[in-house]
Amino acid sequence: MSLFMGLDVGTQGCKAVVYDDHLHQVVSRGSYPYEILKSKVPGRAEQHPSLWIEGGFSAMKAALSAVDPKKVKGIGISGQQHGFVPLDRNGAVIRNAKLWCDVESAKEARDLSKKWNWTLVPGFTASKILWLKNNEPENWAKLANVALPHDYFNYYLTGRLCMESGDASGTGLFDTANRKFDLERMSTIDSSLHSFFPDLIGPNDVVGTLRPEVAESLGLSPGVQVAPGSGDNQMSALGSGAVREGLWVASLGTSGTLFGATKQPILDPTGGVSPFCSTDGQWLPLLCTMNCTTVTEEARRAFGMDHATITPLAEAEEPGCDGVNFLPYLTGERTPNWPNSTGALTGLRQGSLKPGVVYRAALEGATFALLRGMKMMEDYGVAASELRLVGGGSKNKLWRKIIADSFQLPIRFPTEPESAALGGALQAAAVYNQEPVADYITAHEPGTTDEVVEPNASNKQKYEEAYERHVTYGEAMFEGTAFGKV
């Protein structure tokens, strides 16, 4: 029996799982919560990487307390994408990391978009690097190494700094089709920038083994391998079994994401579809919205109710909320690229400002934002036959029905809710066993629950009409206006 650990280093905390590759199941878990640093600077969202190390080690130790740690053979790290970790020549952190949800670099994103003739959203790493150069010259002068969050964690574990294509493709500085860095784009930021990026490794390469002091701290053997790891979306795809075409994953968390494996890259010049590589040698086109569970949280808090109380009230309302739409752009938006947009309720009439209506409209608004992404994918020839739903919002049964009916697709639910952490463990197992990652996932496909939510065709037209209102009102309010401009 061999055990493999996966760790997801997220925005709100770290979650660890230990996977038994003989039983084909997770046998223990651990977690550690934390928060984004509070700031009065508009658009700023930062964390210090030391927080990830503290949280990650606490989560791993909790998971290891229930198993024999000496049986652990490999570790795979999943990390929040796009974060910029600036390191000096000695590998020390120069300043707080700017996170995926940091839009302080909106001006830099706009400037780079004009130069590249490709829409770069502020969340991508490239804009954050240029922001550092433009705003903190003293820190820019110290910069010698660029790392992403999961790269930094691998570096702490092994002493080796490297990148892999999945996470690197979320920097905005990557040639996705050819899986290499785009030196021309790098040079538009700085002629020396290419020298700050580490070597790329392949999906089945080993980063290294644990540093002795790390192994001792965790109670693991020094020979434990560290797999390449990747961004959280890439690892969630592995942990959800999404390594074959047609199977798509929708994640309902702080942000909403929609992604699936393809055999060819999707290169969308508008930036609406993120041109990601997968971490198994394929491609992983992805849509990301910045407002998902935050919208439903805002709606239930406004009426002083918990989700269990307000959900039945929303169930009693008709699909489409009798013309009420909740435009969910509470923190601006990434897709569409409206960083300065705001949330709005439209279609209100006398008597419609009720808890059930507003909450259902919030659920529908967050859903329509993801559905818009699916329709963009379809324009590129992508066809989905099944959705797998993950993330905290997937526990809401009404939301499940709304998504199934809006997408008109059946929905299944992975047995293991921590799909990104499980993806790390599965990748570590594949690398240790020297099997191609996609083949290993196919042979050990993560299970799903018995529950299947089938779409209700009778609701199709109501949701289509509500979706059209969502798009029309959003574009009327934000497209080309001061509210939507970068």
Give per-residue pLDDT as tens, 246-280.
999 999 988 899 999 999 998 888 888 888 999 99
Active-site residue, selected from the candidate residues 151, 167, 182, 232: 232
Average pLDDT score over the chain: 94
* CA 469/CA 431 separation, integer angstroms: 48
- What lies within 8 Å, CB to CB, of 308 at 6+ separation is none
Half-sphere exposure of residue 479, counting CA atoms within 13 Å on the CB side? 9
Give the torsion through C-alpha atoms of 310, 457, 294, 361, to 10 deg.
-60
Q: Is the pLDDT assigned to residue 1 strictly greater than 80? A: no
CB 158 within 8 A of CB 91: no
All structural domains of the chain with their residue ranges:
3-232, 293-373+458-478
Rg (CA), the chain: 22
**pLDDT value of residue 445:** 84
Q: Give the mean pLDDT of 427-447.
A: 93
CB 171 within 8 A of CB 126: yes
Q: Is the pLDDT assigned to residue 217 strictly greater than 70? A: yes
DSSP state, residue 39: -
**pLDDT value of residue 119:** 87
16-39 burial code (b ≥16 CB/10 A, e <16): bbbbbbeeeebebbbbbebebeee
Determine whether 232 is an active site residue. yes
**pLDDT value of residue 323:** 97
Class of domain 3-232: alpha beta
Q: Give the mean pLDDT of 282-302.
A: 94
Q: Is the pLDDT assigned to residue 354 strictly greater than 80? A: yes
Helix (H, G, I), strand (E, B) or coil at 210: coil
Indicate if 293-373+458-478 has the same CATH topology as 3-232. Answer: yes
As to burial, measured by CB atoms within 10 angstroms (0-12 exposed, 13-18 middle, 19+ buried), residue 14 is buried
pTM of the model: 0.88
Architecture of the domain delimited by 293-373+458-478 = 2-Layer Sandwich (3.30)
Instruction: Work out the pLDDT band at 481, boundaries 50, 70, 90.
Output: low
Which strand (E) or helix (H) includes residue 97? strand 97-98
Which among 267, 261, 268, 256 is positioned nearest to 240, based on CA atoms? 261
Provide the token pair at 369.
Answer: 């934002």
Which strand (E) or helix (H) includes residue 130? helix 125-135
| Percentage of the chain lying above the pLDDT 90 cut | 85
